Structure 1
Amino acid sequence: MEELRSTIQTMARRFGFLNKNCCVVAGCDISLVQSHILYEIDRRHEPSMQQVANALGMDVTTFSRQIQSLIKMKLVVKTASSADRRVYLLSLTTEGKFAATAIDEEMKRYLNEVFSRMNEFERETVIRSLKLLNDSMAKSSVCCSPFM
């Protein structure tokens, strides 16, 4: 298990998960959390704040602070739902869509470069294994829970 933990720790560092900012787009420093929020808003049609927070496994208070930062950066717009004024819907501004697309393109380039060093069987094995790990984590009772 020590070797597995070491491998996962190294992979997290190589993905830049420990970096304060994941990227700079149009002069905006965007954190890893913010890039995940942009991704989730971009793939849904006007999701509620609660829907995106749930998708990311974030508490609403922390999520709300991140949304306020993205609004100040002019990347996200928050509007009250016409059906229920207590619910706020999120959408990307033109700049937000540009940032989300730029981050997505950069990730695709990075992954294509990493996977280019593998043959087709190795690529398929890694992808299949990551999906298996992800599915198993989703079923785990301790995944994404804070350590005691």
Structure 2
Amino acid sequence: MENVRDMFQLITRRLGFLNKNCCSVGGIDISLPQSHILYEIDRRHDPSMQQVAEALGIDITTFSRQVQSLIKLNLVKKIPAADDRRVFLLSLTVEGKFVATSIDQQMNMYLNEVFSHMNEFEKETVIRSIRLLTEAMSKSGQCCAPPIE
């Protein structure tokens, strides 16, 4: 049987998950955690800090530091919620939206290029397999299972 962990190690390296910065947009270097935070804020409507931290499976202290760095880069805004001033809502600035969109486009271009080396059946099989794997991972109580939304 193939060593599945070897395959995941290789995928991790090829996707650049071990790189200090995942991408650079407009001269701004973005780390992988920052990229994930921008993605989650972009796909939600004014989420709270707690909601995004939980979705990413990051403790709130680490998450707060990452958000502060994104605020300093003028990519994220943090404002108190109108109904509870202890809760802070996050949104992307115009620059943040540009960076998030650019990263999304870069990733989609990369994935499209990867999938171009497969026929339609192979591509659908891989996507279906990834879906099955992520569903099974979400049911696991082991290791690194992120919280289910």
Does the TM-score normalized on the shorter chain lie above 0.5? Answer: yes
In structure 2, the partner of 1:24 is: 24
In structure 1, the partner of 2:91 is: 91
Separation of aligned partners in 2, 1:85 and 1:98 = 29
Separation of aligned partners in 2, 1:52 and 1:113 = 30
TM-aligned CA deviation for residue 2 of structure 1: 6.5
Separation of aligned partners in 2, 1:143 and 1:51 = 21
- Measured on the aligned residues, the alpha-carbon RMSD in Å equals 1.1
Q: Is the 8 Å Cα contact of residues 137 and 143 (structure 1) preserved in structure 2?
A: no
Task: Say whether 1:39 aligns with 2:39.
Answer: yes
Task: Say whether 1:109 aligns with 2:109.
Answer: yes
Map Cα deviations across residues 53-80 of structure 1 (whole Å, 9 max, x no partner). Answer: 0110100000000000000000000000
Map Cα deviations across residues 23-42 of structure 1 (whole Å, 9 max, x no partner). Answer: 11121110000000000000
In structure 2, the partner of 1:74 is: 74
In structure 2, the partner of 1:5 is: 5
Greater RCO (Cα-Cα under 8 Å, separation 6 or more): 2
Identical residues among aligned pairs (%): 69
Give the 4+ runs in structure 1 shifted more than 2 A. none
Q: Give the structure-2-normalised TM-score.
A: 0.95
Q: Give the structure-1-normalised TM-score.
A: 0.95
Q: Which runs of 5+ in 2 are unaligned?
A: none
Separation of aligned partners in 1, 2:83 and 2:28 = 33
In structure 1, the partner of 2:119 is: 119
